[in-house]
Structure 1
Amino acid sequence: MNTDTTRTENDAIVEQARQAAGPALLDTAAGGELAVFHTPTGLEVVDLDADKYARRADRPRRKQGTTVVRDVRSFAQYYRKHSDEHSEVYVILDEGLIIAVLDAHQPEPDAPRWGDHVLQLRLTPTEAWQRWGAQNRRLLPQVAFAEFLEDNLDDLASQPVPAAEVLEIARTFQARTKVSFSSGIVQASGDIRLKYEETTDATGGARGELTVPNEFAVALAAFDDTDRYLIRARLRHRIEGGNLRLMYILDRPEEHLREAVKTVVEKVEAEIGVQIMRGAPPT
């Protein structure tokens, strides 16, 4: 008898038996599952939690993914549905971003969790806030400046200058298009006195003055979940070649925006009953 031939035949029978037995299923410490196959080249391990295999199951093994909402009510609704006693919430103030890690680590040293089921509240400034922010510190021709004020009249505060007065100033700028401005003086009262000369032949070069306040104020809500903030706007001007250009400078809008984020954080804390930490979750 040829022992080598017998051994080869026996090995083949053993290999067939191994393959017929099917894979061995092993549970992992993280709650997943591995399938171990016998192959002619050795053992092959397959992670059944990999996407191409996990999606064949009837349902996922665990919750994961990032959900993004836009207001406090939606955040609270989702959080109450999916959170547990170990969920954590963070806020990045400068980004206006509130992050809830719904499957955060448990306190026991041997009970970590994946931390990849996440809820985010991304605060988006209101359209009015964005409009005023986009034109802040930008010198505009007098007509464009006047049209901007007129288009956003509803955002003007009643103090220190009534909205009706600001509208009248805007219309005056629109009417004074055929003039050449010569100088602008800041008076003791703080108002700006602009001197101009008509450039049309019909008036014979008549001269005049126009007095405008050096500041006004706007009332803007930073986010949908916040009240309006009263923000001072200082008026500045520049005369170049007889042409007048104007701009406003909002008083510390970044601080108001940061305070608005804090207000939203307080509302979220009241809704979900959890103290929000300043910072970002582990990545």
Structure 2
Amino acid sequence: MTLTDNAQVIVDTAIASTAPHELEVGKYYAFTLPGGGLHKVDLTGPDHTGKLARKTGTTTVRDAESFLAYWTKHHDDNSEVYADNERLTVTAVLDANAADQPRFGSHRLHLALRETTAWKQWTKWSGELMRQEDFAEFLEDHLPELLEPSAADMLEIAQSFQAAQKVDFQSVSRLNSGQRQFQYVETVQSKAGQKGQLTVPETFVIGLVPFEGSEGYRLTARLRYRIGQDGLRLGFKLDRPDEIRSQAFADVVKAIGEQIDTAVMNGSPA
């Protein structure tokens, strides 16, 4: 037997003769195995200690009410809140650094507002011209958002445009009431040459909710039109929708700020 073999026998004998003892929960152990190799035992996890790991991750919500519900459950005195006016987001760092103690900053709450379908449709068509039948259908599909004139009056206008499909629009005049009057001549064979007119408000007021879960806002839409070789084209132009959108976000931030004891900072966390 060589000297090396004798040494290994001594090591193996020492390991075999070692009395077993209980390992302490919450610690990490490493053992050298007979014949070489390393065996690791990790007793630091929640399965052994009974203590859950620290809170991590980012929870995303879609309205101020959900933000406040999560905030109330998980924040502490050192949590921070940031509002980003450009991205239209509000982010809370729930485990932000304390004054005298660094923390991980990895448990976050993120409010990402989502535009409503109605808002997206109205802003999509703002400034665009449609065929008169498409314009009429758009009004019919959005009667709930029409405030002034009433939805019933706007429905009547939409139906009038749908009924006046086979006409030749020739001129437009502005009435003292602020309405636009469209003059046309019938082109249907049985009524060819008969003249008529349609009166449409130059402006109308709509009510829109910019973000899911936010308040509603009034916007003015101004009538747009063009008479060309392809007939009458109609549309609308919303007055300052970007300002309304920014105001809606500011109101969401204000609603959050009024319900928490932490200052809402303008910007975004590191």
TM-score, length basis structure 2 = 0.81
Instruction: Tell me what 1:201 maps to.
Output: 189
Instruction: Tell me what 2:84 maps to.
Output: 92
**Number of residue-to-residue matches in the alignment:** 265
- Alpha-carbon separation, structure 2, partners of 1:183 and 1:202: 22
Instruction: Tell me what 2:53 maps to.
Output: 61
Q: Is the 8 A contact 2:83 2:91 kept in 1?
A: yes
Match of 2:159 among 149, 166, 171: 171
Instruction: Tell me what 1:255 maps to.
Output: 243
- The gaps in structure 2 that reach 5 residues or longer are none
- Structure 1 stretches of 4+ moved >4 Å: 11-22, 33-49, 54-59, 185-190
Q: Is the 8 A contact 2:185 2:192 kept in 1?
A: no
Match of 1:243 among 220, 231, 249: 231
Q: Is 8-17 or 169-178 further displaced after alignment?
A: 8-17
Q: Is the 8 A contact 1:221 1:228 kept in 2?
A: yes
How far did 1:162 drift? 4.2
Q: Is the 8 A contact 2:202 2:222 kept in 1?
A: yes
Equivalent position amino acid for 1:70 in 2: R
Q: Match of 2:259, SS?
A: helix
Instruction: Tell me what 1:127 maps to.
Output: 117
- Alpha-carbon separation, structure 2, partners of 1:18 and 1:261: 69
The 5 Å alignment of 1:71-86 reads: 71-86=63-78
How far did 1:268 drift? 1.0
State percent identity of aligned pairs: 39
Q: Is the 8 A contact 1:126 1:223 kept in 2?
A: yes
Superposed CA offset, 1:163-219 (max 9, x none): 443232212111101112234455676533323221111012223333322211111
Q: Is the 8 A contact 2:62 2:212 kept in 1?
A: no
How far did 1:43 drift? 7.7
Matched, 1:6 2:19: no
TM-score, length basis structure 1 = 0.77
- Alpha-carbon separation, structure 2, partners of 1:95 and 1:16: 68
Instruction: Tell me what 2:263 maps to.
Output: 275
How far did 1:85 drift? 0.9
Question: Measured at CA, do residues 48 and 241 of structure 1 come closer, stay the same or move farther in structure 2, by a change above 3 Å?
Answer: farther
The 5 Å alignment of 1:135-146 reads: 135-146=125-136
Equivalent position amino acid for 2:206 in 1: V
How far did 1:105 drift? 1.4
How far did 1:13 drift? 4.8
- Alpha-carbon separation, structure 2, partners of 1:6 and 1:123: 75
Matched, 1:103 2:100: no
Q: Match of 2:244, SS?
A: helix
The 5 Å alignment of 1:44-55 reads: none
Question: Measured at CA, do residues 46 and 126 of structure 1 come closer, stay the same or move farther in structure 2, by a change above 3 Å?
Answer: farther
- Alpha-carbon separation, structure 2, partners of 1:16 and 1:206: 117
How far did 1:224 drift? 4.8
- The gaps in structure 1 that reach 5 residues or longer are 28-32
